[in-house]
């Protein structure tokens, strides 16, 4: 059941996005640019149970920090590779990136455990797909929801074609990964809080290239700007405190030889 607090946060987010879009560009002191849609102007604040994130959303396409960073990473990948010859499997597809992938890849397939707006429904820990089925597997902020994430990673590696790559970002919210004793609903059902060490679980891949917020300019604002010093709390009961208010996001690109 939605609580009054959650309703208030939803209203605050909508108001902030409306104000951001209405504000004339000339009045924005440090205008931002969204690499996902091309919007330029003020980014809006994200209000959530786990805290406030400054300059989190593009008010035009609703791209969050992670979407903007991933759009920049895909720009880099498309400059290196001919994506128009490759097939992609997009797990738990986000509309913000789905349209681009549909247009950019030779074939584009979407999948999810339960959603009815995708091409395939299956459990990624036991995928009914042949070995080497896809050149690219894209699963953004998926693995932190899966208790047996190592099985999911093994399946992604199996269905990836030799020479292909998987893009597997997770929310980096702690200095070291913490496994939860139970899912936390106020964290969207997460079963762990990943840290940078989480990428060690991708050891089966031949190479893992990690892109950081600091690899790109300030204009698209791809940092997570929030206070993590107050963890743990009732909405994030297992997270550990992290100093600072500006935290790097990371996108691992895992290549299969």
Could you say which residues of the chain have pLDDT below 70? 1-29
Which among 126, 135, 153 is positioned nearest to 252, based on CA atoms?
153
Tokens of 10: 């939803």
CATH number for the domain that contains residue 175: 3.40.50.150
How much is the pLDDT for 11? 60
In this prediction the pTM is: 0.90
How much is the pLDDT for 31? 85
Q: Count the domains in the chain.
A: 1
How much is the pLDDT for 23? 52
How much is the pLDDT for 114? 97
How much is the pLDDT for 7? 64
How much is the pLDDT for 55? 95
Domain interval for residue 248: 4-255
How much is the pLDDT for 14? 64
How much is the pLDDT for 16? 56
How much is the pLDDT for 30? 73
């Amino acid at each position: 059941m939605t609580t009054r607090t959650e309703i208030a946060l939803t209203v605050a987010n909508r108001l902030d996005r409306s104000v951001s879009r209405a504000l004339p560009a000339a009045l924005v002191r440090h205008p931002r640019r969204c690499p996902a849609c091309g919007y330029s102007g003020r980014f809006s604040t994200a209000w959530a149970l786990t805290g406030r994130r400054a300059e989190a959303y593009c008010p035009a396409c609703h791209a969050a920090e992670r979407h903007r960073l991933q759009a920049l990473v895909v720009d880099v990948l498309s400059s290196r590779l001919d994506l128009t010859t490759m097939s992609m499997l997009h797990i738990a597809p986000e509309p913000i990136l789905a349209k681009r992938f549909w247009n950019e890849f030779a074939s584009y397939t979407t999948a999810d455990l339960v959603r009815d707006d995708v091409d395939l429904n299956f459990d990624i820990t036991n995928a009914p797909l042949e070995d080497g089925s896809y050149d690219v597997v894209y699963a953004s902020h998926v693995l932190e929801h899966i208790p047996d994430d190592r099985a999911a990673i093994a399946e992604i590696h199996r269905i990836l074609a030799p020479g292909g790559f998987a893009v597997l970002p997770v929310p980096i919210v702690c200095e070291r990964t913490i496994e939860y004793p139970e899912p936390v609903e106020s964290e969207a059902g997460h079963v762990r809080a990943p840290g940078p060490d989480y990428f060690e679980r991708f050891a089966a891949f031949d190479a893992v290239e990690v892109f950081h917020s600091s690899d790109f300019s300030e204009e698209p604002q791809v940092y997570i700007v929030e206070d993590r010093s107050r963890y743990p709390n009732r909405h994030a009961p297992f997270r550990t405190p992290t100093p600072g208010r500006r935290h790097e996001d990371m996108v691992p690109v895992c290549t299969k030889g």
